[in-house]
Structure 1
């Protein structure tokens, strides 16, 4: 590469870098100026009521109405009265699961079909609602309305 070509490359690199440096905020060296991502920011987060897994008891008090693009968190609480599971593959494929927390352990799955409680315990699921539609999660093999949670994503 000739000296002239190297100078041209250096001048072009400086021309690009200088305006970026001029935009930096001198007050805080750690601030990159971007902040939290919109969908993961605290202003876009909602807590949902817990889902209760207990023999013969309703899963929830009311159906969920969710908004696509909003981040939600909810707890599933199993009281250990019976080995119980929740299934809802269509719902779990209509959301992006950020994390599942069980006893302080954070799990970041690529997908989910069901969860099961063999004994008393609690888990928290954080997710982003994505695909609008009508969904449900339910206790498998059950036919009662109280063993099913209707979910709408708008």
Structure 2
């Protein structure tokens, strides 16, 4: 009898998880919880994005960074990178799963994709180091 009750309870767990959080079996990494963000453009004199990002804590996001190779450009945002959990970084089909990130740099034209979960609410930024212009800075809010 205990075996049958245990089995019945285990069969209900996936449905309960789906009903409670609205996510699938992968939890917050489920496709229902994923949003794509506007790509970041790394190019001399071009704005990084057209608008600030407003993110929701607990949501999975993906974005691309596209470098056109017009010059060596980096992107820094250590406070932002510590407020998120990075699932993976994909560069030319190679998947990287880092414990943390401080900055990235493009020495030539290329593209990378970063998937992450927003964690810590607050106001953050990513920017091209050594620049002061608003177009070279991306304001980010995690709610």
Would you call these one fold, judging by a TM-score over 0.5? Answer: yes
Is contact 2:88-2:96 (8 Å) kept?
A: yes
- Find out whether 1:126 has 2:115 as its counterpart: yes
**Which of 3, 17, 20 is the aligned partner of 2:6?**
20
Cα deviation, 1:5-42, whole Å, max 9, x if unaligned, reads xxxxxxxxx73x332234566xxxxxx94642331111
Q: Secondary structure, in 3 states, of the residue corresponding to 1:36?
A: coil
> 2:132 & 2:89 partners in 1: Cα distance?
27
Instruction: Kindly name which structure, 1 or 2, has the bigger radius of gyration based on alpha carbons.
Output: 1
Cross-structure match for 1:80: 69
> 2:10 & 2:44 partners in 1: Cα distance?
58
Cross-structure match for 2:47: 58
The structure 1 segments of at least 4 consecutive aligned residues displaced by more than 6 Å after TM superposition are none
Cross-structure match for 1:100: 89
> 2:8 & 2:141 partners in 1: Cα distance?
47
**Which of 136, 147, 153 is the aligned partner of 2:125?**
136
- Find out whether 1:117 has 2:103 as its counterpart: no
Is contact 2:14-2:25 (8 Å) kept?
A: no
What aligned pairs does 1:21-40 form with structure 2 within 5 A after superposition?
Answer: 21-23=7-9, 33=14, 35-40=24-29
Cross-structure match for 1:71: 60
> 1:82 & 1:116 partners in 2: Cα distance?
11
Pairwise CA distance, 1:129: 0.3
Q: Secondary structure, in 3 states, of the residue corresponding to 2:88?
A: strand
Distance 1:36 1:59, change over 3 A: same
> 1:153 & 1:23 partners in 2: Cα distance?
37
Q: Secondary structure, in 3 states, of the residue corresponding to 2:124?
A: strand
Pairwise CA distance, 1:43: 1.2
Normalising by structure 1, report the TM-score: 0.81
Cross-structure match for 2:19: none
Query: What is the number of equivalent residue pairs in this alignment?
Result: 134
